[in-house]
Amino acid sequence: MSSTPYRTPEPDSRNAATVGKSVRIVGQIFTKEDLYVDGDVEGTIESLENKVTIGPNGRVQASIRARDVIILGQVQGNVETSDKVDIRKDAKLVGDITTSRISIEDGALFKGSIDIKKPEPKVAAPTPVAVVARPAEPYSAAASGAAALSTAAINR
Amino acid sequence: MLTERLLSIFRKENDPVSNGAQLAASLSTGSHSASATRSLAASRKFNRKEALTRQSRGLEQFFFNIRDVVGLSVLDCAGASQDNIDFLINLGHKVYSQDLVRNLDEAFGLDLTEQTNPSRIEYFLKQNFQYPPETLDGVLLWDALQFMSPALLNATVERLYEVMRPKSYLLAFFTATERVRDVPSNSFRIVDHKTIALTERGIRPAGQVFNNRNLEKLFGKFESVKFFLTRENLREVIVRR
């Protein structure tokens, strides 16, 4: 058995829109791709179907809504994800979390509440139902008899 | 052979990075002796980072009291920890988390006289217990209260009374040794409903002496106070709002 401790993979800023170290944004950020924030953001960040990573130099005063959020820097604001929040060692988050899954490394500072919501079941596209023509039901003597009996009872 | 091993162990005890687990592992290869056991105990005492796992009647009682109910709001003052969060979430509760001892340091430093300033006390309460009235169904305070001076402690308990729901519970630990001024501060991890892992994170001055009478007086406004005395000279206190 290996004694090497499991290491969480480092977040990758490639293939993601990036807010660099020396960038400061005040306002709203909407993105349809992964976002890596290593600068200052004040406002809101929304990337509902993608991942938002706050880098070690990132300082965010904003509410964040995304599929996944990884925090290595500092965040003050509420975080809402449809999948996972990952707070790494030395990160700082002051705010409330709503998520399906959460991971907090030792050494991270978190102040706020955690509300776990169950992931919404994915609605599958309706599949056409095969309709099989059923053969006509054979004449049921028993059923017919019962019907005849009840009719006879009524006639009496 | 064993003597050599023990000598190396004693040398390691003077090394700040010596590790109790390594020591235990090295001892496990040879026969145990009284001196070896003593050295292991000494190493455990010396190595502050080693976690001590023990049963907690207080914790057991806390979870017994909130059993069979889900969706409660529980405040954990041990700081963010995956173990505690996982445990509480798996019980179906909403978790509020903060590191009360760390926040004490940030607000007042280690000087207890700073804890008498009314405006600072108010700031501290606002930073840490800013919840609507009767929000919390359970509070895990661990050992944080014992590092508060009487003024801050009374104000904190008063605020806790406001933010806790009636019939809710809080768990707090106090040293039972009345003559000790400095007591170890620990971080607490929930292992299961009746077991905790403690890791010492330094020695701090105790705010005051805590005996049963003091504690009953402190929580006088609450409905009931129950004590459990541990082998480590701790009073585990369950308080019902």
Q: How far apart are CA A68 and CA A81, in angstroms?
A: 6
> Residue B14's domain spans which residues?
2-46
Chain A CB contacts of B98 below 8 Å: 110-112
pLDDT band at B145 (very low <50, low <70, confident <90, very high): very high
ipTM score of the complex? 0.71
Q: Which one-letter amino acid corresponds to residue A79?
A: V
User: Could you tell me if B33 and B79 lie in one domain?
Assistant: no
Task: Please say whether the beta carbons of B164 and B223 come within 8 A.
Answer: no
User: How would you label B112-137 residue by residue, b for 16+ Cβ within 10 Å and e otherwise?
Assistant: beebeeeeebeebbeebbebeeebbb
Closest Cβ opposite residue B85 in set A102, A109, A111: A102
- pLDDT tens for A75-108 read 999 999 999 999 999 999 999 999 999 999 988 9
Name the domain count of chain B. Answer: 2
In terms of Cα–Cα distance, which of A86, A29, A83 is closest to A73? A86
- Strand-by-strand arrangement of the B195-205 sheet: B52-55, B195-205, B182-192
Phi, psi of B7 (to 5 degrees): -60, -45
pTM more than 0.90:
no
Q: Where are the domains of chain A?
A: 17-116
Pair B93, B143 in one domain:
yes
Looking at A128-137, B14-23, B119-128, which range is the least confident one?
B14-23
Cα B77 from Cα B142, distance rounded (Å): 7
pLDDT digits (tens, 9 = 90+) for B177-197: 877 778 888 899 999 999 999
Query: What is the β-pairing status of strands A24-30 and A40-54?
Result: parallel
Tally of CB atoms within 10 A around A116: 19
Same domain, residue pair B75 and B31: no
| B115 plus B166 within the same structural domain | yes
Any idea how long chain B is?
A: 241
User: Would an 8 Å CB–CB cutoff place A109 in contact with chain B?
Assistant: yes
Indicate if B65 and B135 belong to the same structural domain. Answer: yes
Q: 55-84 in B: which are within 8 Å (CB) of A?
A: 73, 79-82
**Tokens at B91, concatenated:** 């019980």
pLDDT for residue A153 is more than 50: no
* Pick from B42, B33, B53: nearest CA to B15: B42
Q: Are residues B97 and B122 in the same domain?
A: yes
Distances (CA, A) of B102 to B81, B113, B163, B205: 14, 17, 21, 14
Using the Cβ of B96 and the Cβ atoms of chain A, whether some distance falls under 8 Å is answered with yes
Kindly state whether A8 is in contact with chain B, defined as any CB-CB distance less than 8 angstroms: no
**Cross-chain CB nearest to B98 (options A104, A105, A111):** A111
Residues B57 and B101 in one domain: yes
Residues B168, B61 within the same domain: yes
Query: Is the model more confident about B144 or about A142?
Result: B144
Assess whether B33 and B66 both reside in one domain: no
Cβ-defined contact of A110 to B97 (cutoff 8 Å): yes
